[in-house]
Structure 1
């Protein structure tokens, strides 16, 4: 029987990095396949995973939680039928709901074809409060249905670890949280431990039904006073993605300036950016979340860039990325973090 691990986490939390870590250590001598979903048209994360000689089934042009549920079920069926690997790692879209993925996997488990070994959610402590406030039900769902929560980027905000752990415990009392660096966590933590599968099974019909979620918004009423209110949306109505293709080679500095130029001047809110583009001597891969940009060389070839967010204008973003960078759009350099042009902390989806 195939073991399945679901690696969940909101946009840019570090899911792909965790999968690489687990493949190197936890599943060193196992036959592993990955079902990976990029929100948007690209397979950037899939390309990075293939650097590790992994078999990757990539789903694109949507998110597993909504329009691609049929494709995910078909991919899972095909892998179980044609390959029967020891382990399947599922990396859903960062804007998906973990409960929706579990619903599909439990159907296969009930048929005796796989065993859901563990659901792991990666939480970036740098963006926790913002995402909890603006995208609460999407974000909370990934914690509520996790067996294990791993904190990421804890070295950047060590003084916030305890407060974040307390907030996570309020969302899902008793959940196991690991704040240590992933390479130092015992392998048994990833493979074994208590599960909440019985509760999920008993409440599946109600708990994972596809239904709207609530998104908090801010607006101004008559007289300019600030008002907070909540509207209900489906995932596909909240988030959008813009995918670009870029062929000319760039330096790390040029790529960083272009990304920051888009982030600073684009309408809406960019929650995630990632891509692989040609560099001078090798490919360059970048990852962006609000407040952090990393750029590094990669052996993976690619020419695609994807921005994910709310209220995005595709034509505008294409124009901004193609423009010459303005002097004020400075790059932070290789693998470093800093604040960015406009502060969208209190903005959320239309």
Structure 2
């Protein structure tokens, strides 16, 4: 069952320190949300075509494309659908000019002259405003975008934690650019959505000191800017199938090597001294890693945000792995 905290959320923004797997978590969340007949849009804004690689599809154009069925709801009802959108700032500006200023051919002419590239490069904040503006339009569709799909949820694979507050704070980014007029009005409307209960900014971390600290800093910055903190998703968690006493023995060098040797022999493995010593060293490394993870998990618990955990998948991430992670998110109540 979905946690009550997410029942009203339409825009799920997923951020995290580089290397924590935020794009993977965003994709898994989209699959989890797209159940019970729901339609979900998965957006990316960093130009890496990560969605196409994860779902093994052709590179995405600036257009919404169906890429996968949602996670099987398991109750006899049909799964929903995940669409994807690769948002390009130049194309977003052309669309904006066509929708709000009726500059269809004129807008394309500006593009040929390089005016759009100039605007998105030189004007502070314009690039991020265009990217977030397209996300806003996908969440809050209006009559200007005739025939467009109305989504039950939008998942944004957002920039890293260090940039997320600036990225979403479009009114602040435009403060020195447009103080009045339609652009200022639209940015204020966007901020109404981004600061409302219809938006949640989820932070992805792994159980290491720097990512956890960056997550804590990111939460503080989001709250200082009035942006809604969602969940903390702890990714790439190692198995916890070794008893605490055995971990302590491994860390202290007190592992019973004779018992290890006997177990290996019972399994039909020739237990040389080199093998047993090597396994003991690996056990010590694992135990030390587990102790570090437990310390960081305690810090995550103090962040005043709901948390969910996803396992480290030994086989790496493919489409099957994404569905596995999606099922785990739904089991824990995030979708």
Tell me whether the two structures share a fold, i.e. TM-score over 0.5: no
Give the TM interval when normalised to the shorter protein.
0.3 to 0.5
> What's the TM-score, normalizing by structure 2?
0.43
Q: Which has the larger radius of gyration?
A: 2
Q: Give TM-score scaled by structure 1 length.
A: 0.42
The structure richer in strand per residue is 1
* Larger relative contact order, structure 1 or 2 (CA cutoff 8 Å, min sep 6): 2
